[in-house]
Structure 1
Amino acid sequence: MDKLPEPLFLEILSRLDDLADVSRCRIASKTFETAYPHLRSINQQCTLKRYLNSRPGTGVSGEMKSLSISDFWLQSCRRRSVLLSLVSSYYRKVKIEMVKKQNQLSVKNAWLSVENLSPTPMLTSLTLESVRLVRLNKCFPNLKFLNLIGVSGLKAPCIHLLNLKTCHWTVPDSLFSLTLITPTLSTLRLECIKSTRLDVEAPKLFHIHLDIEPRNFEIKKFENLKTVWLKSRNIGDLFETFELAETVENLTVDTRDWPRGATGSSNFTVKCVFTIFPNVSSLCIKSNVWSGFEACYRPLYWETWDVRKALKAFSAYLLLVYPSVTFSCVSGVLDGCMGVSEVSLLIHDDVDSTVSKSFISRCMTQCRPRLNWRWGIWREGMEDSWITDFDGLSG
């Protein structure tokens, strides 16, 4: 084993989830001991066994770039951790070259204290999951990547980070107001199940993924926005929160809380897509939105809106509850969007293969000609799979 190259030993050490295991490897092999000073990443997980035995951890190497710590919530929820102070103290002691590197910190299941915490400008990537925290901006002024998943303790926060590039925030129900001011942000993902007042000011935003309720949501006009993913119980109302978005090229729409096969109403229409996003070239409609669209289908509707040529690619997730209605809707979209050349349709895995094959055959023979068809199968919680052999359709 000692004949293996050093990079492989470093890869092994960086994948271990317990510092005690790292120490054991150092004792067991001289090569591990030699490689250890060059280690750049360590994962530390506080398990129940560690909690009961109260075993202390060991230090980190002098050139650490990545640190991941998962505490044990039964103990960490009862006392504040001084982890951030330790990390800040560590970075203040290292070489000035650390400022130029991508230094990452990931913390899970902890109550983090920020008392007497000095700013940590060296830290550029921060992930907090199931964490209590009361202050952010002053602690980490140079963050470029920020992930906040289930973070509590912030009261009406205003995230004002001048260098932030990517942000993913799952907003807790306890938060009633959120302001995001990020002049360099390019990618934003916001998940906010409960109605919360959201103010977003990010002029350079390129990609946005919103899973929110539209009430009390204020969004500034984005001059560089290209890709939009929208998910809401009321997708039509969420559309209205946007000003005219002429730069958007790729759009995906989804909704929550629609049971399979539901015949309720929906305020989503293809026309409203082009009203807000007139230059969208790729449109993807998820299954719940499409089901509501089918429920409100009116054949004469298509005569009332302008033929759009900007749309080039169209995809939809289908349930085929009523295949004839689904066909009419697909055909109507294609007739109304004469610029479409690429069509991707995914059929739910529970649909009988005979029904699927019949629907596929009808689309390819009766819809307008010269279309490039792509067919797939989808299921909740699973990756989409694309069909290359129609005889292999599951049922």
Structure 2
Amino acid sequence: MEELPSAVVLEILGRLGDAGDLARCRLACRALRSLSYHVPSVRLRCSPSAAAGSASTSASALPFKTLALNLVSLLAPSLLRLSLAVDPPSSSWDDADLDSDADDLHLAAADFLSRCLPPLAPRLRSLALSDYWAQSCWRRSDALAVISLLCNNLVELEVRNAWLSVNGLRCMPKLTSLTLEFIRLDDENIDRLNECFPSLQVLNLIGVGGLKEPKLHLPQLKKCRWTISSIPLNSTIVAPNLVELEFTSVEPKILILETPSLSDLNLIIVKPSATIVGAEKCLSLRNLRIESFGIPGLARMFGGSQSLKRLEIEIPRRTRTDELYEALSLSDLLRNFPHLDELTVGPEAWFELQKPCNILTSTGYSRCLKKLTVHLEPSDFDIKFMALFLSLCGPLCEVTILFFDSSEAAAREQIVTKCASDFPMVRWKWGTRKKPNRNTL
């Protein structure tokens, strides 16, 4: 390490997972000790159990916020990126083990940020705060007002597990990336977010509550991930430069898209009651992924697309006794998207497509597919159904079969041998993947 250029060593030290690792590096050699005070990036983390343990075993133990303030004062002259986080508690942790009125882990508190940020605010480019929900959920914070007042050069902001007010929020024209995760936001229609973050290019809204009829209107936005539960029912996205969108919801009513540049769309809509207004105007759409109990209805909204080349389908099923709102038919998919080059079928969608009522029966489909990817359990494999799929593939089509890594190796090997012998002209690829958790939606 001592032989490396100082700039390289600083970059390595800035990528350490925690400030504790940085402190240990200071003990390794004199050179590291000197350079450790000039790192451009630092992360300081704490767990609720560690905070409770230090408070109960040592009266002289420093609270987490005090440690953060001390660290900032040491590194302020060089610090460009700061991350302060309370790690999620373990399953055995009881929030009652910490004083319910305490705020020692409430990192989005305005008074704490007012003391922490001034020494480094002029240079700070990235700020990430992950609060402790048990202390932050009932305390509305003016953190956004403090950050927008002090950090005029901030480019990237992440806030998690907090209740945020938009009172006093100022315009931050240099901010290009914003992540709000598990946030209660006092901005029903996202009007203040649109007004104060006009230069956003990347936006992640994950589990943001407090919204009524949100309308994103961000002219510079290029990439967006928006995950909501059952509320709000109506959402609008006006983003002329948006290229990539992932939208997740349980049962929305209306999703309005004014996104003419949209190229990659991932729709995860559990119950298919949604109407997607403007789907037919997404003329640049090339990649579409749909995960829903109502794939056919959602697919029809984008039907006839001349630009769509890659489609992925899956069903967010918890048990295979659940009923689909509409039968999943390969015939319908091919009619809706006649210009597909690549098709990816998830394990639950593959199981559904094999049902007799859903198998392709009509003729006249051109052999167009250049790439087919199937995720499946070996027990769901049917060689006759695979032959039907292969009839839709063009010459030299690449077919990839991905098994769950928990499946038996002997069963996988049997399928590999059968496919290779029955269809020698196909370019086969094989692999494994982890079985997804179907209880996350």
Taking structure 1 as the reference length, the TM-score comes to 0.82
The offset of 1:357, in angstroms, is 2.5
Which one of the candidate residues 348, 355, 367 is aligned to 1:295?
355
Classify the secondary structure of the residue corresponding to 2:332: helix
User: How far 1:297 moved relative to its partner?
Assistant: 5.9
Alignment of 1:221-260 (within 5 A): 221=280, 222-259=282-319
Does residue 131 of the first structure (1) align with residue 183 of the second (2)?
Answer: yes
- Where in structure 2 are the equivalents of 1:80-95 lying within 5 Å? 80-92=140-152
Q: How does 1:346-361 map to 2 (within 5 A)?
A: 346-361=402-417
Question: Contact 2:105/2:132 (CA < 8 Å) preserved in 1?
Answer: no
Deviation at 1:272, TM superposition (A): 1.8
Indicate whether 1:189 and 2:234 are aligned: no
Deviation (angstroms), 1:312: 0.7
| 1:43 paired residue among 83, 104, 111 | 83
Alpha carbons 2:251, 2:272 under 8 Å: kept = no
Q: Report if the CA contact (8 A) 1:252-1:286 is conserved.
A: yes
Query: Which among 401, 423, 431 is matched to residue 345 of structure 1?
Result: 401
Indicate if the aligned counterparts of 2:295 and 2:313 stay in contact, CA closer than 8 A: yes
Which of the residues 252, 261, 272 maps onto 1:214?
272
* Aligned length in residues: 366
Q: For structure 1, which segment, 251-260 or 287-296, has the greater mean C-alpha deviation from structure 2 after superposition?
A: 251-260
Q: Secondary structure at the match of 2:419?
A: helix
Post-superposition shift, 1:192? 0.6
User: Judging changes above 3 Å, is the alpha-carbon distance between structure 1 residues 235 and 81 closer, same or farther for their aligned structure 2 residues?
Assistant: same
- Aligned mates of 1:118, 1:315 — CA distance in 2: 48
Q: Deviations over 1:5-36 (max 9, x none)?
A: 244335434646569x88x97xx944333454
The alpha-carbon deviation at position 205 of structure 1 amounts to 0.3
1:117 deviation in Å?
Answer: 1.8
The answer as to 2:428 corresponding to 1:373 is yes
Q: CA deviation at 1:141?
A: 1.4
The secondary structure found in structure 2 opposite 1:284 is: strand
Q: What amino acid is aligned across from residue 242 of structure 1 in structure 2?
A: F
- Aligned-pair RMSD on alpha carbons? 3.2
Which amino acid counterpart does residue 37 of structure 2 have in structure 1? E
CA shift, 1:296, in A, is 2.7
CA contact (8 A) 1:17 1:45 kept: no
Equivalent residue of 1:12, what SS?
A: helix
* In structure 1, C-alpha distance between the alignment counterparts of 2:348 and 2:266, rounded to whole Å: 17
Q: 1:33 corresponds to which residue? A: 37
Q: Partner letter of residue 147 of structure 1? A: N
Q: Is the 2:106–2:136 Cα contact (8 Å) retained in structure 1?
A: no
Aligned residue for 2:327, secondary structure, equals coil
Q: What is the aligned partner in structure 1 of residue 56 from structure 2?
A: none
The match for 1:175 is: 232
Q: Which ranges of structure 2 fall in alignment gaps of 5 or more residues?
A: 27-31, 40-74, 88-97
Partner residue in 2 for 1:309 = 367
Alignment-derived partner of residue 12 in structure 1: 13
AA in 1 matched with 2:315: T
Query: 1:333 deviation in Å?
Result: 1.2
Match of 2:259?
A: 202
Larger deviation, residues 262-271 vs 281-290 = 262-271
2:392 matched residue in structure 1: 336
Q: Which amino acid aligns with 2:116?
A: T
Q: Determine the C-alpha separation between the residues in 2 that align with 1:198 and 1:2.
A: 56
Match of 1:391 in 2: none
1:146 to 190, 203, 208: 203
2-structure distance, mates of 1:361, 1:2: 54
Q: CA deviation digits over 1:75-118, x for unaligned, max 9?
A: 211222121112211244x5xxx7xxxx1000011111111322
Instruction: Tell me how far apart the structure 1 counterparts of residues 354 and 147 of structure 2 sit (CA, whole Å).
Output: 54
Preserved contact between residue 345 and residue 374 of structure 1 (Cα < 8 Å): yes
Relative to 1, partners in 2 of residues 1:361 and 1:45: Cα closer, same or farther, differing over 3 Å? closer
Q: Using the TM superposition, give the Cα deviation of residue 194 of structure 1 relative to its aligned residue in structure 2, in angstroms.
A: 2.5
Aligned structure 1 segments of 4 or more residues deviating by more than 6 angstroms: 1-4, 47-50, 263-266
CA distance in 2: counterparts of 1:229 and 1:30, whole angstroms: 50
Q: Is the 8 A contact 1:346 1:376 kept in 2?
A: yes
Q: Deviations over 1:305-330 (max 9, x none)?
A: 2232321111111223354xx11111
- 1:223 CA displacement: 1.3
The equivalent of 1:280 in structure 2 is: 340
Compute the displacement of 1:204 (Å).
0.3
1:137-188: CA deviations, max 9, x gaps? 1121111100001101121011111100000000132211111111110000
Pairwise CA distance, 1:263: 9.6
CA distance in 2, matches of 1:254, 1:53: 40
CA distance in 2 between partners of 1:164 and 1:85 (Å): 22
What residue is the counterpart of 1:389 in the other structure? none
Letter in 2 for 1:87: I
Structure 1 gap ranges (5+): 383-395
The amino acid that maps onto 1:116 is G
The answer to whether the 8 Å contact 2:105/2:131 transfers is: no
Local SS of the residue matching 1:8: helix
Of residues 158, 166, 184, the one that matches 1:114 is 166
Equivalent residues of 1:10, 1:39 under 8 A apart:
no
Distance, in Å, in 1 between the alignment partners of 2:322 and 2:272 is 23
SS in 1 for 2:176: strand
What SS does the corresponding residue of 1:377 show, helix, strand or coil? strand
Change (3 A) 1:249 1:374: same
In the alignment, structure 1 residue 364 sits paired with structure 2 residue 424:
no
TM-score (norm 2): 0.74
Alignment correspondent of 2:137: 77
| Displacement of 1:339 | 4.2
Give the CA deviation at 1:228. Answer: 0.8
Is the alpha carbon distance of 1:211 and 1:51 closer, same or farther for their aligned partners in structure 2, counting shifts above 3 Å?
same
Query: Distance between the aligned counterparts of 2:426 and 2:296, measured in 1?
Result: 29
- Residue among 187, 193, 216 paired with 1:159: 216
TM-superposed deviation, 1:375: 1.4
